[in-house]
Amino acid sequence: MLLPKFLPSWYTTLVFRPYGSIMDRYLATQLIPPFIFSVGLVATLGVAVGNLSDLANKIVEKQLPVLKALEILILKVPEFVAYALPISVMLTTLMTFGRLSSDSEIIALRSCGVSLYRIVLPAIILSLGVTVGTFMMNEWVVPAANYQATSILVNAIQEEHPFWQTRDIFYPEFETLTLANGQTSRRLKNLVYAERFDGKTMQALTVLSWAGTNLKQILISHQATWNEQQQKWEFFEGTLYKLSPDSSYQEALPFQHQTLDLPKAAFDFARQSRDPYEMNIIQARQYMDILRLIGDTKKLNFFQVRTEQKIAFPFVCMVFALVGSALGTQPQKVSRAKSFGLSIAVIFIYYLLSFLLGSLGMIEWVSPVVAAWGPNLIGLGFGLWLIYQFNHHV
């Protein structure tokens, strides 16, 4: 097959040779086995260090059933596999290219006219596939598994969860007014309070409703739920107190069943409250819409930063592949111990930078996008600079 001469060699290799060149196949055989081993090792260590001690304490101190603890341990595996994938890319590229460099195989390829960019291309392609896999796992598997693990702890030992709205739910509904001078002002319209929420039914509710600046009614109910068909609240066993315009008592109307046209957002707020890592991106964006409605800017900013970090995190696989490949292809001998040490150093610096920028995002010194993507862009620039330096000066 005749190929246009202007096409670069890497393009013809990838497009017109389905199985790649001999060099590509060789590098793939060197990269994939240590990558699989690294994922298993790092994930196992993560699960053991991150969960075993805590679960053992819960079994002894809070009487968590052993089978439930085992179920939680299994449910935590996807999360640590997702964390292990980028780390494994770094370890794999450093160790593989370090071994190739120490055996002078990198020098042999360079002497044949192969650039460093072309040599590390298989590792970049591998990291691209790992990026997609990490994103899919973080979106479809990890949130559901984490949510189920938390549910077990909440139901089995009544463990408190900072993000779960199971007790003392407050939901304020505001209305926006346009003033005579053209400015806008927010005014409280309804305030819903429930002592408990089991995921379907709210218990011991109090609902305050205003008309303008005057409190017009107070509803107290034993329980309430949301009727999807009627798109209304259903209250059971309660009393509706109506007030006069001067907020004095007017009448009390006991009821066994009452429907009211209150916003569903109060129910969604309680039902959808989760840790950011127990939500996929769609769920997180829906919850942030609710936070905007109630004006909880602090929590909204927290979720914005965490959601952007979830989107940005899988792409660190490509950053680690670039940096690991560049460091590994240095001409000096790179032992496994040195590779491991370099990997730990690079990973530590990345997560430290991620933590610092994330903290600045939380206090709104930088935008959520900068807080999440900043470490990736800095790491990408550093990796490209290393490749350029080693390709032109080594």
Domain identity same for 262 and 319? no
Domain identity same for 180 and 320? no
Q: At which of 272, 292, 326 does a domain end?
A: 272
Grade residue 356 by pLDDT with cuts at 50, 70 and 90: very high
Q: Is residue 300 part of a domain?
A: no
Model confidence over 21-52: pLDDT tens digits? 788 888 888 899 999 999 999 998 888 888 88
Compute the average pLDDT of residues 123-138.
Answer: 93
Compute the average pLDDT of residues 280-289.
Answer: 84
Compute the average pLDDT of residues 143-152.
Answer: 86
Compute the average pLDDT of residues 371-393.
Answer: 88
Q: Is residue 258 part of a domain?
A: yes
Domain of 149, in residue numbers: 9-159+305-393
> For the chain, how many structural domains are there in total?
2
Domain identity same for 246 and 138? no
Domain identity same for 265 and 344? no
Q: Is residue 277 part of a domain?
A: no
Q: At which of 247, 272, 297 does a domain end?
A: 272
Q: Is residue 292 part of a domain?
A: no
Q: At which of 254, 272, 290 does a domain end?
A: 272
Model confidence over 254-268: pLDDT tens digits? 989 988 877 777 777
Grade residue 131 by pLDDT with cuts at 50, 70 and 90: very high
Domain identity same for 190 and 259? yes
Q: Regarding predicted confidence, which is higher, 214 or 306? A: 306
Task: Print the SS3 string covering the chain.
Answer: CCCCCCCCHHHHHHHHCCCCCHHHHHHHHHHHHHHHHHHHHHHHHHHHHHHHHHHHHHHHHCCCCHHHHHHHHHHCHHHHHHHHHHHHHHHHHHHHHHHHHHCCHHHHHHHCCCCHHHHHHHHHHHHHHHHHHHHHHHHHHHHHHHHHHHHHHHHHHCCCCCCCCCEEEEEEEEEEEECCCCCEEEEEEEEEEEEEECCCCEEEEEEEEEECCEEEEEEEEEEEEEECCCCEEEEEEEEEEEECCCCCEEEEEEEEEEEECCCCHHHHHHHHCCCHHHCCHHHHHHHHHHHHHHCCHHHHHHHHHHHHHHHHHHHHHHHHHHHHHHHHCCCCCCCHHHHHHHHHHHHHHHHHHHHHHHHHHHCCCCCHHHHHHHHHHHHHHHHHHHHHHHHHHC
Mean pLDDT of the chain: 82
Domain identity same for 244 and 122? no
Domain identity same for 247 and 175? yes
Domain identity same for 203 and 343? no
Domain identity same for 16 and 155? yes
Model confidence over 159-180: pLDDT tens digits? 666 665 667 777 777 777 776 6
Domain identity same for 223 and 363? no
Domain identity same for 100 and 193? no
pLDDT at 160: 65
Domain identity same for 20 and 92? yes
Model confidence over 313-336: pLDDT tens digits? 999 999 999 998 888 887 665 556
For the ranges 69-78, 112-121, 228-237, 287-296, the lowest mean pLDDT is seen at 287-296
